[in-house]
Each structure stands twice: as structure tokens, then as C-alpha cells.
Amino acid sequence: NHAFSVVSTSEQTYKGVGFLLIHATVPADFQSASENWCRDYQNLCAEYDKRPTGTGLDGTLGWDMSWNTRAGSCVTGYGSDPYINNVLGDESQSPTEDIKAMVVRALGVQDSYAYGRCFGFLYCDPGECHRDLAGISFSLHSTYAAVNDPGHDRTVFTVCTGKLGNDACKTANGGCADVCIHTQIGTRCLCTQPGFRLMADGRGCEGERPYKCDRCGYAAAQKGTLDNHIAARHTGDKPFMCGECGYRTARKSSLSGHLRTHTGEKPYKCDQCGYSAANKSTLKNHLVIYTGVKPYIYGECGYRAAQQLVCPTI
């Protein structure tokens, strides 16, 4: 179940790793056949008994082996195979350049033509996987040339790798305490929560928070997290400053959210309607329209609310 029209396929070896190179086109309306294009890519590769791929293990786990949720969701949500020796991009690089190099070498097309038509997985969080290919920025990275071609040439190129196998992770989660993923040779367990690592048995997860605050009982798995805690709770330091208006904050993530007030970017999108938000928390508040969840109860009057606020008085 996918919207790709396959033109040709060929087996390729790139930097010692085997790939199935696919030349295809996308429909004129740029709509996926399944719930989104990330799933269509997964289904395309499954047609050949393979898995989608993209950012390698460095990009998925990072240099310090801490789970990158945005790239990791390609593995856990769409079966992406990260065990490709990092030959398609690294921690900070999209897979598109390496796939383009493979296309130019194998199919003899011009580099300028292939640019913006070669994709693999980069990020697969809900804010990136859509039904409309024109609305995709970083999941199937990148396809913008096919979407925006003035001559309506909707050609794209991608790769699949590994082997679909028997979906062993679907059976009791592969025996993993947290996340089970498929690799080219079998399955592997991962611990995706911050501060946890895989135990010696290769299946369980154990907490690890070696960085401790000397002013309170707080402990963190990473030094940067502890530094943010100290700045926000104890010293009042706000090292991150907006160049547009002078706004300062203790957290880099808070600055990123603030910058969207200047750019107008709203990357968090509701999957129920066309609403989009600049911040994840704003989208969460919006989703209450559909869920009806009101978790905050005020003891003085029994009033329930979707957001935390001052207890209303009459």
C-alpha cells in the first residue's frame, strides 16, 4: 500500500553496504496511499522484502549513545534499518547526498538533476510525517525538487536495505524491556528513555544518572541536562539570547521555541484538523478538543481544567 510508481530497481553496493536502489515517480496530487509518506516508504521497501533506511546509527543514537527521538522514531515507528555503518549521513547530516552519489554513479544521471530528488529517512516524529508530500521537510529527505519541478517531473530516487525477516519484534516485543528494533542480522533491544542504558543481559534497562546537583537532590544522565537545571533553578543564569529582541533563557530548547515567534514557523501539527502550533505544549492543549481530558482538579471548588491555571473564583 504505497503511492510510488516504480520505474526500475537495481542492487548496489555503496561503501561496503548493500542497497536496493529504486527509481520511481510520485502521483500528481502528491498524496500518500497510506496514512503518511513515511509509511508508504516502509511499504515500498517491504514489497522487496527489505526495510527503509536513512540516517545511520550515529544519527539515531548520537555520539554519546543517547536516543535521538526524532531520528529514532524512524526505527521504532517505520522499521528503518540504522545498521548501515553510517554510510548515509551521520549525526548531523541528511542521507540525501550519499543517495544522490549512488544514483549518479549507478544510473548516469546528472548531479544537478538528482539534487532534491534523492531521499531516505531523517526524522519521523509526527510533526514530519504527512500525507501531502509538499508538506514534508525532514522525513523523506529530500524530495522538494520533485514537488516543485516547473515541468511536473515527479521523479524520485531512494534505497532500501536489510531484510524484512519475520518481524520478531512483534512477538512479546522481542523480549525487550523498552524498544525492540530489527537489524540486518536479527533484532536488538534499545533503552530510549533519558538516563537509562541497556543491561548486561541485552534486554533490560537500568537507570544511570551520574551527574548530581550539589545544591539539591536532583540527578541527571547527561551533564548538559544538569547544567540546564542549575541555571534554571539555582543561579538564574540565562546564557541563551535571541538576536532579534534580546529575550534570554536558561534553556536552549526554550530559545528555539521563542525564535518561532519571529519566524512564524509552526512545526507541530494536529493529525485531526489543519491546526498547527509553534510549540509542542500548545498543540497538546489544542488536542484536548478531541480527547476531552481535563487533568487539573482544584480542591477548593472542584473545577476541572485542561490547563493548569489559578482556581477561578466567583
Better-predicted residue by pLDDT, 295 or 141: 141
**Of 143, 109, 115, which Cα lies nearest the Cα of 40?**
143
Per residue, the 3-state secondary structure of the chain, as one string, reads CCCCEEEEEEEEEECCEEEEEEEEECCCCCECCCCCHHHHHHHHHHCCCCEECECCHHHHHCCCCCCCHHHHHHHHHHCCCCCCCCCCCCCCCCCHHHHHHHHHHHHCCCHHHHCCCEEEECCCCCCCCCCEHHHCCCCEECCHHHHHCCCCCCEEEEEEECCCCCCHHHCHHHHCCCEEEECCCCEEEECCCCCEEECCCCCCEEECCCEECCCCCCEECCHHHHHHHHHHHHHCCCCEECCCCCCEECCHHHHHHHHHHHHCCCCEECCCCCCEECCHHHHHHHHHHHHCCCCEECCCCCCEECCCCCCCCC
pLDDT category of residue 183 using cuts at 50, 70 and 90: low
Segment 117-175, tens digit of pLDDT: 999 998 888 888 999 998 887 889 889 999 999 999 999 999 998 876 556 676 777 78
Four-residue CA torsion sign, 116, 118, 120, 124: positive
Report the predicted TM-score, pTM, of the whole model to 2 decimal places.
0.56
Kindly state the average pLDDT of the residues 28-39.
96
Segment 184-224, tens digit of pLDDT: 566 778 777 766 778 888 888 877 777 888 888 787 777 88
pLDDT of residue 109: 93
d(CA 81, CA 60): 10
- Identify the top-confidence range among 118-122, 276-280, 282-286, 294-298: 118-122
β-sheet bridge partners, residue 219:
212
pLDDT category of residue 257 using cuts at 50, 70 and 90: confident
Could you please state the CATH topology (level 3) that the domain comprising 168-207 is classified under: Laminin (2.10.25)
> Which stretch of 42-51, 217-226, 257-266 has the lowest confidence by average pLDDT?
217-226
Task: Report the mean per-residue pLDDT for the chain.
Answer: 81
Q: What are phi and psi of 156, to 5 degrees?
A: -135, 160
d(CA 185, CA 119): 24
Domain ranges of the chain: 5-161, 168-207
